[in-house]
């Protein structure tokens, strides 16, 4: 365990790496988490719990495939419920990773180095959760699994390219592929480090294969840097495009509350908002449990909090704009939508959303909140709750009352909805903890560039 | 989905029905012990194991009949299907030899894959609805009205539409039983024959027949023959929804029984005194009357339209269509009738009339006087005889007799007052005078007046025989139960409301060896074994001795009616000599109305899933009956109120305990706008203890409190509010239009001033066939590029729609639409492709009510199409949104994006893939949808395609009117018109070019092909109260 966080004097920002670290300590500390034979008790407990939830997810999905989507609370007119809410939520969470890795890399924000690896892992695991939902929410997933892809066939039947759901398929699968490659390439030098530090033959062989013959030659480094920068360049627009495309699922429709042109930026901001909240939700326990306070310092937490504050304000602006445009349009359906948000049967969730996403995060203006990990952790939880509610409000409350009053309806989730939602959280946690145990959760070689000795005069 | 039936107390566990004590050893021992030759007929007898016999007979059926949970019931059907298949294996019997052979001689006219239509009729409680039945390879699949017959003109009602499901109902009685045990027909025939001989020796003393109202001339002839050879026998009649009041009223006014026949087409002013002539089948002649009445409101030629005044107690769809509706407590109707009669010069006096009522009567009387001979006053079937007598007198005073109303001899054979008839029967039973009781049809143990205690009296009858198509409450008290045929299974005949006789021809062999009512009687005329066909033919031959009978018969059967058999009008004059005194009304007493249920009638249709799932026209609830009270009463009692803030999809409604004449029943209440205060309406037919899988556990039994003294109306109910709740499944949760005006409506005066009232900007709105351009993008779907040949369109006249729900059931039958069950309806997953929205406007005490049928709009710019990721919903060159079921993966995006919410999703495998009998009834031209697939109205594309193919073969265009969608065909008021809008002469195009046509949600530029014709109401300018729009 490292020393507890010490707040630097006023006006001085906390360092991005704790004092006294050397190349050796960095390598040992980070690789030690993976190469140790001693698996921490908390790890076993968390993984056991997460695996149980994953089992619940499998049960619920199996039953879903057996019976049909009717086991959920969806109905006519609310044809989309928890599945789509969860999909958008998980995709949103998946945003911070690539933003941190790619965009901050291009902007040469060196503080990203300590958190980019697990943020990328978070992205990949979150997109895996997200990707589950569009498939299983269909009535016939065994057909949707391949009819949604443009696979040439003798019938000459293609997907319908005008549908945003098809754009979704491309956007999400591209995003997953690029994120995965980016993550994988970044891992290669570290796998080599693990290979070289491994104490047993089997471990050495496994990491050796994963390292793909990395020897650390200048040529390797040169090619690595080129590839990494190229992928960063590729991934950057994806950060913006994925959630823009997801938002088009709604914006393209005619449903009041969905049919809005500002959805793409609004959704991207919201995604980064929730993504950073998730980064904090993972980083704070991680640095505490593994004593990584020297690598993930208060500086990282503060910076993440600032990004949250900024994106949170954009989201707040979007909420305001939604209301304003409803009024400004003077369209009876838009007005009714606004009215339904404020006074409808689900208005409680709307007010909770305002509380979670706008009011409580205002505490991030305070340095004391930004610099106190447990407070940040609580705010992050609140923000992610709020972001889930936001998607609930958008999906359910808009569909609930649209044009024809006779067809207005209500939505109640069922236990199967909840089992699948919680199950994906378990699946995510399971994947994340397995990742921490088997792969360097912080980029070793990049961390080494952060210590003063690494600075080379050019 | 948890299996709720676990908690069902009725469910028999496997242990209970498996006695397992019939050990081989024990049987051997028993045989060894027996002295002398011991003959045993069954193993059961041998082992004295009654339960074993029961096990053999009804292992699954019993469990089946008591399965309550609607979802698991579906699962159970699968189980039952599998068990049936396995039963053959387990029985170790030889499978019946089945040979697959081609026709040696192809049946005449049969082209495989092409339907054949046969004329027949549905008998319905003393009258009949003439039908044309679509059969595929001799399996009836769809029922239509007989267009040649004056009582139908091609339309039907929802009961006729749904009756086909009763034919294929797997829960129908399939076996002849004696004391609950299976018996062969021969054994029954022997028992019956010996009984007949015994009774004949006694001149028929102690022999009684009990049927419902019968209009079959052949049955009447048979019964007459029976009564000649059994002079002391008696024929009793009981229908729980009977025409006693009408009969008694007729006797009061004319001294004899006459049926009134109305000619709404001649009436400019119509007054309904609680008469529900637009609501459905229990008003004989409804189909024709609704058509005639609505013809007077089409505004097709000029600005003339009839006016409807309704003074009613329980809200009905007739009241919903009224131009003036007066809300009355049930007992007040008679006073209004008296007031009106007095005003029009009939020698009666009225009791106290309130100021509003007096004003209403004055204006009404003036309007009637202006239209002497061209007006009509219609009495309600459920109102007292005095009201009937008074209306006859009023119509007489106004010179309407012969003009708008005429009187014929009763259509019912040997008409009696049913209340009196059943009372006599039960009294005789109690006195021990009845030894043999033959019950044909009906369910008297369930639906006879509760105070007469039919079941108790039944025990005193020595031999009790029931012919019935269901094993019901009555069956439990019977010695013999014989399955009765469905009307599509046996020859018979019947007369429609105007007396026209129809030969009922069967469509299919009896599915379960049932016997018809004619065959039931044949034992008493020494004709046992004679077929119904022969019996019916014999009768008609005797009626037409001079003609070439074969030709006559063929013509009558083919046309579906006997030519010129309508009853001639009788010249009668109403005389009001001695009217019973006006019953003293206590304004504080709570009055009870008993009404037949709008969808399951008197309970006869309780096991019909289509009707169970059809929303009741006003409350939109399904699978249960509710008790209607006024919103003000609900408020006064502190009950949860229907309001706009809460959607009603799956509400638990509080249970009221209604005590009437010392008997109690628990009912879920429903606050019905327009219901009178201090009154409650109970609906009959639900809450049956012994019924099939569909009807089990639905609703409350209002017969439990219905005495013989107050069959329809009674005062003095005591209502207690309980703390228990009843889950109600409604299909519409929101009854306010929210200022969106999906229904556009104006008064006649406004309409004359501004024909374009349905349009805010009439000049900017497009017309069909013109160049419609409201988009930045070029319109490629023009007549030149896209809709080159046909452009199908539909028009729905909101003025004509009476909300009778027949279209919804017709669509269900035509398009193989699944039934989902109560729990799924509560979740909002009902599947009917056409829904009828009801909207209320104005004061909840007496609101304006509007009906709006909403099928798929078939938008030209359909929001559903571009969002489907797999292209499962695509636009055709004839303008339809085609659903490609094979391609649908079920994202439900199309439904989300449909502003009209007309798409329906198979959340589960709603279609029944397993029950064999249901497969017979499906339309082979329509796919049975599987799980996970979206579906919606297709404009009956199978009918369009059939007509297009027929026209191409003849090298011509499809003629206007050649294609009728199922909803259009069934509609009694011709509210729905379908056709080609590319054709400027087509009827639908002409209606669409009219000023009242408007598009639903036109502002979305969806360019719907289904358009509406705005409603116009015609209130009396002198009467500024009632249902006028604010």
Q: Please indicate if any CB of chain A lies within 8 Å of the CB of B645.
A: yes
**Tokens 């029009």 label which residue?**
B344
- Give the whole-number percent of chain A exceeding pLDDT 90: 45
**Residue B21 pLDDT greater than 50, yes or no:** no
Return the sign of the alpha-carbon dihedral for residues B870, B876, B881, B883: negative
**Residue B817 pLDDT greater than 90, yes or no:** yes
DSSP string, A151-176: ---TT-----TTSHHHHHHHHHHHHH
pLDDT in tens, B352-410: 888 888 888 888 999 888 988 899 999 988 888 889 999 998 998 888 888 899 999 99
Given this model, what pLDDT does residue A406 score? 86
- Give the whole-number percent of chain B exceeding pLDDT 70: 87
Distances in Å between the alpha carbon of A295 and those of A3, A26, A98, A301, B539? 12, 9, 20, 11, 104
In whole angstroms, give the CA distance from residue B822 to residue B613. Answer: 8
Residues 6+ apart with CB under 8 A from A354: A319
Q: What distance, in Å, lies between the first and last C-alpha atoms of chain A? A: 37
Distances in Å between the alpha carbon of A223 and those of A212, A228, A448, B910? 14, 8, 19, 59
Instruction: Tell which wins on pLDDT, A349 or B39.
Output: A349
Portion 203-242 of A in contact with B at CB < 8 A: none
> Looking at A76-90, A291-305, B470-484, B874-888, which range is the least confident one?
A291-305
State CA B444 to chain mean position distance: 20
- Give the whole-number percent of chain B exceeding pLDDT 90: 30
Tokens coding B221: 């002839």
The neighbour count for residue B112, using CB atoms within 10 Å, is 9
Strands B139-145 and B997-998, sheet pairing: unpaired
Please report which confidence band the pLDDT of residue B565 belongs to, taking 50, 70 and 90 as the band edges: confident
Mean pLDDT, residues A162-169: 91
Please report which confidence band the pLDDT of residue B637 belongs to, taking 50, 70 and 90 as the band edges: confident
Q: Which of B1011, B993, B1009 is nearest to B861 (CA)?
A: B1009
User: What angle do helix axes B158-167 and B806-814 make, rounded to 10 degrees?
Assistant: 40
State CA B134 to chain mean position distance: 19
Q: Please indicate if any CB of chain B lies within 8 Å of the CB of A404.
A: yes
Distance from the A332 Cα atom to the nearest Cα atom in chain B, whole angstroms: 8
In whole angstroms, give the CA distance from residue B727 to residue B387. Answer: 38
Mean pLDDT, residues B540-559: 88
Q: Please indicate if any CB of chain A lies within 8 Å of the CB of B955.
A: no
Q: Please indicate if any CB of chain A lies within 8 Å of the CB of B828.
A: yes
Q: Please indicate if any CB of chain B lies within 8 Å of the CB of A332.
A: yes
**Residue B691 pLDDT greater than 60, yes or no:** yes
Distance from the B750 Cα atom to the nearest Cα atom in chain A, whole angstroms: 25
The number of CA neighbours under 13 Å toward the Cβ of B631 is 14
Whether residue A140 and residue B889 make contact (CB cut-off 8 A), yes or no, is yes
Q: Could you tell me if residue A13 is left (phi over 0), alpha (psi between -120 and 50 degrees) or otherwise beta?
A: beta
Given this model, what pLDDT does residue B586 score? 79
**Residue B86 pLDDT greater than 70, yes or no:** no
Which residues pair with residue B652 across a beta bridge? B727
Given this model, what pLDDT does residue B634 score? 83
Specify the DSSP element, H or E, that contains A215: none
Q: Which of B469, B472, B427 is nearest to B445 (CA)?
A: B472
**Residue B30 pLDDT greater than 70, yes or no:** no
Torsion of CA A54, A55, A57, A60, to 10 degrees: 180
In whole angstroms, give the CA distance from residue A208 to residue A197. Answer: 11
The neighbour count for residue B101, using CB atoms within 10 Å, is 6
Q: Please indicate if any CB of chain B lies within 8 Å of the CB of A255.
A: yes
Instruction: Tell which wins on pLDDT, A324 or A11.
Output: A324
Which residues pair with residue B668 across a beta bridge? B655
pLDDT in tens, A360-407: 999 999 988 888 889 999 999 999 999 999 999 999 999 988 898 888
Strands B881-883 and B873-875, sheet pairing: antiparallel
In chain A, residues with a C-beta closer than 8 Å to the C-beta of B869 are 148, 159-160, 163, 165-166, 169
Q: Please indicate if any CB of chain B lies within 8 Å of the CB of A75.
A: yes
Q: Please indicate if any CB of chain A lies within 8 Å of the CB of B835.
A: yes
Whether residue A408 and residue B835 make contact (CB cut-off 8 A), yes or no, is no
**Residue B1026 pLDDT greater than 50, yes or no:** no
The average confidence (pLDDT) of chain B is 83
In whole angstroms, give the CA distance from residue B608 to residue B141. Answer: 15
Whether residue A406 and residue B852 make contact (CB cut-off 8 A), yes or no, is yes
In whole angstroms, give the CA distance from residue A387 to residue A381. Answer: 10
**Residue B790 pLDDT greater than 80, yes or no:** yes
In whole angstroms, give the CA distance from residue A312 to residue B861. Answer: 38
Mean pLDDT, residues B564-583: 83
Given this model, what pLDDT does residue A391 score? 92
In whole angstroms, give the CA distance from residue B278 to residue B293. Answer: 9
SS3 B383: coil
Largest CA distance in chain B: 103
Portion 256-315 of A in contact with B at CB < 8 A: none
In chain B, residues with a C-beta closer than 8 Å to the C-beta of A138 are 889-891, 932
Given this model, what pLDDT does residue A97 score? 81
3-state secondary structure B810-855: HHHHHCCCCCCCHHHHHCCCCCCCCEEEEEEECCCCCCEEEEEEEC
Q: Which of B316, B304, B230, B239 is nearest to B267 (CA)?
A: B304
3-state secondary structure A278-328: HHHHHHHHHHHHCCCCCCCCHHHHHHHHHHHHHHHHHHHHHHHHHHHHHHH
Largest CA distance in chain A: 74
Given this model, what pLDDT does residue B481 score? 92
In chain B, residues with a C-beta closer than 8 Å to the C-beta of A74 are 892, 907
Given this model, what pLDDT does residue B17 score? 38
**Residue B644 pLDDT greater than 80, yes or no:** no
Which residues pair with residue B729 across a beta bridge? B622
**Residue B1025 pLDDT greater than 80, yes or no:** no
Q: Quote the radius of gyration of chain B (alpha carbons, Å).
A: 29
In whole angstroms, give the CA distance from residue B534 to residue B538. Answer: 6
Answer yes or no: are the C-beta atoms of B480 and B438 closer than 8 Å.
no
**Residue B643 pLDDT greater than 60, yes or no:** no
Given this model, what pLDDT does residue A349 score? 92
Please report which confidence band the pLDDT of residue B84 belongs to, taking 50, 70 and 90 as the band edges: low
**Tokens 């004679």 label which residue?**
B530
**Residue B898 pLDDT greater than 90, yes or no:** yes
Whether residue B932 and residue A140 make contact (CB cut-off 8 A), yes or no, is yes
Tokens coding B418: 């049913």
Mean pLDDT, residues B735-760: 83
pLDDT in tens, A70-94: 999 899 889 999 999 999 999 999 8
Distance from the B850 Cα atom to the nearest Cα atom in chain A, whole angstroms: 12
Please report which confidence band the pLDDT of residue B12 belongs to, taking 50, 70 and 90 as the band edges: very low
> Looking at B21-25, B256-260, B908-912, which range is the least confident one?
B21-25
Mean pLDDT, residues B948-958: 93
Return the sign of the alpha-carbon dihedral for residues B901, A345, A89, A323: positive
Domains of chain B as residue ranges with CATH? 4-81 (no CATH), 177-241+417-559 (3.40.50.740), 244-408 (3.40.228.10), 590-730 (2.40.40.20), 745-771+794-1017 (3.30.70.20)
Who among A139, A255, A405 is closest to B738 (CB)?
A: A405
State CA B321 to chain mean position distance: 19
Whether residue A163 and residue B868 make contact (CB cut-off 8 A), yes or no, is yes
């Amino acid at each position: 365990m490292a020393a507890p966080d010490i707040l630097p004097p006023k006006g001085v920002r906390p360092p991005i790496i704790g004092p006294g670290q050397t190349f050796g300590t960095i390598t040992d500390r980070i690789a030690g988490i993976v190469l140790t034979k001693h698996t921490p008790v908390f790890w076993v407990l968390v993984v056991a719990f997460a695996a149980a939830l994953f089992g619940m997810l499998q049960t619920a999905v199996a039953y879903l495939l057996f019976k049909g989507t009717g086991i959920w609370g969806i109905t006519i007119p609310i044809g989309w419920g928890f599945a789509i809410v969860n999909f958008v939520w998980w995709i949103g969470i998946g945003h911070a990773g690539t933003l941190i890795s790619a965009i901050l890399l291009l902007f040469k924000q060196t503080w990203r180095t300590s958190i980019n690896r697990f943020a990328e892992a978070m992205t990949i695991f979150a997109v895996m959760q997200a990707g589950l939902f569009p498939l299983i929410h269909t009535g016939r997933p065994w057909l949707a699994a391949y009819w949604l892809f443009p696979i040439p066939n003798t019938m000459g039947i293609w997907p319908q390219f005008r549908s945003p759901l098809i754009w979704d398929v491309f956007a999400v699968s591209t995003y997953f592929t690029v994120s995965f490659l980016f993550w994988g390439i970044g891992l290669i030098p570290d796998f080599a480090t693990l290979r070289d530090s491994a104490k047993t033959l089997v471990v050495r062989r496994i990491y050796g294969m994963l390292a793909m013959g990395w020897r650390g030659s200048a040529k390797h480094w040169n090619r690595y840097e080129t590839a990494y920068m190229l992928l960063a360049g590729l991934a950057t627009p994806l950060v913006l495009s994925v959630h823009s495309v997801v938002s088009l699922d709604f914006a393209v429709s005619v449903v009041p509350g969905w049919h809005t042109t500002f959805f793409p930026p609004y959704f991207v901001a919201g995604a980064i908002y929730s993504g950073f909240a998730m980064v904090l939700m993972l980083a704070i326990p991680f640095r505490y449990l593994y004593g990584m306070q020297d690598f993930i310092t208060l500086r990282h937490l503060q910076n993440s909090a600032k990004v949250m504050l900024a994106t949170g304000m954009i989201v707040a602006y979007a909420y305001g704009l939604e209301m304003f445009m409803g009024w400004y349009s003077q369209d009876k359906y838009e007005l009714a939508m606004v009215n339904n948000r404020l006074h409808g049967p689900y208005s409680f969730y709307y007010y909770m959303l305002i509380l979670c996403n706008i009011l409580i995060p205002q505490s991030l203006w305070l340095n004391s909140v930004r610099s106190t990990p447990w407070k940040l952790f609580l705010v992050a939880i609140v923000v992610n709750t709020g972001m889930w509610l936001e998607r609930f409000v958008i999906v359910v409350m808009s569909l609930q009352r649209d044009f024809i009053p006779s067809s207005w309806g209500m939505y109640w989730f069922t236990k199967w909805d909840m089992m699948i939602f919680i199950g994906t959280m378990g699946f995510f946690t399971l994947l994340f903890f397995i990742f921490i145990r088997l792969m360097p959760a912080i980029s070793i070689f990049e961390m080494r560039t952060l210590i003063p000795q690494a600075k080379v005069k050019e | 989905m948890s299996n709720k039936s676990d908690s069902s107390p009725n469910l028999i566990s496997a242990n209970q029905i498996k006695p397992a004590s019939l050990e081989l050893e024990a049987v051997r021992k028993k045989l060894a012990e027996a002295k002398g030759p011991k003959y045993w007929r069954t193993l059961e007898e041998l082992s004295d194991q009654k339960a074993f016999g029961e096990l053999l007979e009804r292992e699954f059926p019993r469990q089946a009949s008591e399965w309550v949970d609607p979802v698991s019931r579906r699962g159970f059907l699968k189980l039952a299907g599998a068990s049936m298949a396995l039963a053959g294996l387990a029985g170790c019997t030889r499978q019946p030899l089945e040979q697959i052979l081609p026709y040696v001689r192809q049946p005449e006219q049969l082209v495989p894959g092409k339907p054949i239509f046969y004329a027949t009729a549905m008998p319905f409680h003393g009258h009949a609805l003439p039908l044309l039945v679509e059969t595929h390879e001799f399996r009836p699949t769809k029922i239509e009205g007989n267009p040649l017959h004056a009582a139908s003109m091609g339309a039907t009602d929802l009961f006729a539409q749904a009756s086909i499901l009763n034919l294929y109902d797997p829960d129908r009685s399939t076996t002849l039983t004696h004391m609950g045990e299976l018996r062969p027909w021969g054994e029954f025939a022997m028992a019956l024959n010996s009984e007949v001989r015994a009774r004949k020796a006694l001149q028929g003393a102690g022999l009684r027949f009990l049927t419902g109202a019968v209009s079959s001339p052949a049955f009447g002839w048979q019964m007459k023959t029976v009564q000649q050879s059994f002079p002391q026998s008696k024929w009793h009649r009981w229908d729980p929804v009977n025409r006693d009041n009408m009969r008694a009223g007729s006797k009061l006014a004319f001294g004899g029984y006459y049926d009134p026949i109305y000619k709404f087409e001649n009436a400019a002013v119509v007054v309904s005194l609680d008469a529900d002539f637009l609501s459905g089948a229990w008003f004989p002649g409804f189909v024709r009357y609704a058509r005639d009445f609505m013809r007077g409101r089409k505004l097709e030629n000029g600005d003339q339209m009839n006016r409807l005044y309704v003074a009613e107690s329980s809200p009905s769809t007739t009241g919903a269509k009224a131009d003036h509706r007066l809300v009355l407590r049930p007992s007040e109707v008679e006073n209004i009738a008296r007031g009106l009669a007095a005003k029009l010069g009939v020698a009666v006096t009225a009791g106290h009339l309130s100021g509003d009522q007096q004003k209403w009567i004055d204006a009404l009387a003036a309007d009637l006087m202006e239209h002497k001979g061209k007006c009509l006053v219609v009495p309600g079937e459920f109102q007292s005889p005095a009201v009937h007598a008074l209306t006859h007198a009023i119509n007489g005073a106004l010179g309407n007799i012969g003009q708008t109303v005429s009187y014929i001899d009763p259509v019912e054979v040997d008409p009696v007052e049913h209340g009196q008839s059943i009372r006599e029967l039960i009294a005789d039973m109690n006195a021990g005078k009845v030894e043999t009781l033959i019950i044909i049809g009906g369910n008297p143990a369930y639906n006879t007046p509760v105070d007469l205690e039919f079941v108790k009296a039944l025990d005193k009858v020595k031999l009790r025989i029931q012919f019935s198509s269901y094993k019901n409450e009555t069956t439990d008290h019977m010695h013999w139960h014989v399955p009765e045929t469905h009307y599509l299974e046996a020859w018979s005949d019947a007369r429609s409301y105007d007396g026209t006789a129809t030969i009922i021809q069967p469509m299919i062999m009896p599915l379960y060896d049932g016997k018809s009512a004619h065959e039931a009687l044949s034992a008493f005329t020494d004709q046992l074994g004679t077929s119904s066909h022969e019996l019916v033919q014999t009768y008609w031959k005797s009626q037409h001795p001079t003609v070439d009978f074969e030709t006559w018969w063929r013509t009558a059967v083919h046309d579906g009616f006997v030519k010129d058999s309508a009853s001639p009008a009788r010249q009668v004059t109403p005389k009001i000599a001695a009217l019973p005194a006006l019953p003293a009304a206590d304004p504080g007493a709570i009055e009870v109305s008993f009404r037949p249920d709008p969808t399951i009638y008197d309970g006869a249709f309780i096991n019909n899933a289509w009707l169970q799932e059809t929303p009741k026209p006003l409350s939109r609830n399904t699978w249960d009956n509710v008790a209607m009270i006024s919103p003000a009463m609900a408020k006064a009692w502190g009950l949860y109120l229907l309001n706009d803030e809460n959607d009603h999809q799956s509400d638990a409604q509080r249970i009221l305990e209604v005590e009437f004449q010392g008997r109690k029943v628990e009912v879920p209440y429903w606050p019905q706008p327009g219901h009178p205060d201090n009154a409650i309406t109970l609906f009959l037919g639900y809450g049956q203890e012994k019924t099939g899988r569909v009807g089990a556990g639905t609703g409350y039994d209002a017969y439990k409190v219905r005495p013989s003294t107050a069959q329809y109306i009674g005062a003095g109910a005591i209502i207690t509010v309980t703390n228990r709740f009843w889950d109600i499944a409604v299909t519409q949760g929101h009854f306010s239009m929210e200022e969106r005006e999906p229904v556009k409506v104006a008064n006649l005066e406004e309409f004359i001033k501004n024909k374009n009232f349905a349009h805010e900007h009439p000049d900017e709105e497009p017309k069909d066939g013109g160049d419609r351009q409201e988009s930045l993008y070029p319109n490629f779907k023009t007549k030149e590029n896209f809709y080159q040949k046909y452009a199908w369109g539909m028009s729905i006249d909101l003025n004509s729609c009476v909300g009778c729900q027949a279209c919804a059931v017709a669509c269900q039958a035509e398009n193989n639409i699944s039934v989902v069950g109560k729990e799924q309806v509560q979740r909002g997953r009902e599947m009917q492709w056409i829904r009828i929205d009801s909207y209320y406007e104005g004061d909840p005490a007496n609101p304006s009510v509007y009906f709006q049928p909403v099928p798929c709009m078939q938008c030209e710019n359909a929001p559903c199409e571009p969002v489907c990721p797999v292209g499962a919903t695509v636009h055709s060159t004839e303008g339809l949104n085609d659903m490609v079921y094979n391609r649908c993966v079920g994202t439900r995006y199309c439904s989300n994006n449909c502003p009209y919410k007309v798409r329906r999703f198979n959340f589960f495998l709603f279609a029944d893939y397993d029950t064999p009998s249901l497969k017979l009834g499906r339309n082979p031209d329509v796919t049975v949808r599987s799980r996970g697939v979206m579906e919606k109205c297709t404009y009956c594309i199978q009918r369009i395609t059939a007509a297009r193919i027929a026209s191409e073969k003849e090298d011509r265009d499809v003629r206007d009117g050649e294609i009728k969608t199922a909803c259009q065909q069934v509609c009694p008021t011709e509210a729905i018109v379908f056709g080609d809008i590319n054709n400027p002469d087509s009827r639908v195009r002409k209606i669409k070019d009219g000023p009242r046509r408007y598009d639903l949600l036109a502002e979305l530029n969806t360019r719907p092909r289904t358009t509406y014709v705005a409603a116009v109401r015609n209130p009396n300018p002198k009467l500024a109260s009632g249902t006028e729009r604010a």
